[in-house]
Amino acid sequence: MIGFSYIDTPILKFKKSIVKKCIKDLISNEGLVAKDISFVFCSDEYLLSINQQYLKHDFYTDIITFDYCDEVYISGDLFISVDRVIENASNNNVNFADELRRILFHGVLHLCGYKDKNVKYKTVMSAKEDFYLNLFKSDLIL
């Protein structure tokens, strides 16, 4: 099951069925199986409090992924700051929908086992994000 919820931020209007299909297809393409994935959209302040409490980091971020995966079954909670997505889109000169898709795919790729803690891993992660953005570019979500 793939679900969406909101904490401390307005509800986003997007095509949930298309997002779910893209996420399932991404996971399947990676040779894995989608199980329970929860996307929680929230504010900067809410995500900052999670970052401080659980990761001991005192800075804003766009996404925090809690991985509950078991072998080939992909499960997790992904907390996404809508404020960061808006700012990232502006800073990177892309539209909100494209940046949101990138962040959604980024979080799911973490669940699939991809890391981004060093330059080598970031390069691989970015290439995977770009691959899936291109693969699903006709699937507009907003």
Q: 11-44 pLDDT, tens per residue?
A: 998 889 999 999 999 999 999 999 999 999 999 9
The rounded distance, in Å, linking the Cα atoms of 78 and 41 is 8
pLDDT of residue 10: 92
**Do 64 and 55 meet the contact criterion of CB atoms below 8 Å apart?**
yes
Q: How far apart are CA 138 and CA 59, in angstroms?
A: 34
Please tell me the predicted confidence (pLDDT) of residue 141. Answer: 59
- Model confidence at 142: pLDDT above 60: no
The listed CATH number (3.10.400.10, 3.40.630.10, 3.40.190.10, 3.40.390.30) that belongs to domain 2-135: 3.40.390.30
pTM of structure: 0.93
Res 138 pLDDT > 80: no
Say if CB 103 and CB 92 are below 8 A apart. Answer: no
- Which uninterrupted H or E stretch holds 40? strand 33-42
9, two tokens: 């931020």
Q: Are 83 and 89 in contact (CB under 8 A)?
A: no
Question: pLDDT tens digits, residue range 83-118?
Answer: 999 999 999 999 998 899 999 999 999 999 999 989
